[in-house]
Amino acid sequence: MRNRGFTLTEIMVSMLVLTIISGVIFSFALAMGASVRTQESQVTASDDARLAMMRIVRDLRQAARQSIDWSALPAARISYRAAVDLDGNGLAVDQSGRLELSPVRTLRRDAEDLNGDGLTDAQLVWVEGDEMRVLANNLIPAAAQGGPQGLWFEQAGLGLRVTLRTEHTSDPRDPPMRVVLTEVITPRN
Helix (H, G, I), strand (E, B) or coil at 157: coil
Contacts (Cβ under 8 Å, ≥6 apart) of 94? 86, 87, 100
CA distance 33 to 109: 33
Task: Report the pLDDT value the prediction gives residue 145, as an integer from 0 to 100.
Answer: 40
CA distance 52 to 11: 61
Task: Report the pLDDT value the prediction gives residue 11, as an integer from 0 to 100.
Answer: 92
Task: Report the pLDDT value the prediction gives residue 143, as an integer from 0 to 100.
Answer: 62
Task: Report the pLDDT value the prediction gives residue 72, as an integer from 0 to 100.
Answer: 92
49: how many CB neighbours lie within 10 A of its CB? 24
CA distance 184 to 148: 18
The DSSP letter of residue 98 is P
The DSSP letter of residue 40 is H
Vertex 179: Cα angle to 38 and 144 (nearest 5):
110
Say if pTM beats, i.e. exceeds, 0.85. no
Residue 111 C-alpha from the chain's centroid: 17
Task: Report the pLDDT value the prediction gives residue 59, as an integer from 0 to 100.
Answer: 92
Q: Which amino acid is at 27?
A: S
CA distance 64 to 60: 8
Alpha-carbon Rg for the chain, nearest whole angstrom, is 27
Q: Block means of pLDDT (10 residues each) for the chain, length 189 residues?
A: 79 94 93 83 84 93 91 92 87 84 91 79 89 88 62 92 87 82 88
Contacts (Cβ under 8 Å, ≥6 apart) of 71? none
Q: Which amino acid is at 142?
A: A
Vertex 84: Cα angle to 82 and 90 (nearest 5):
155
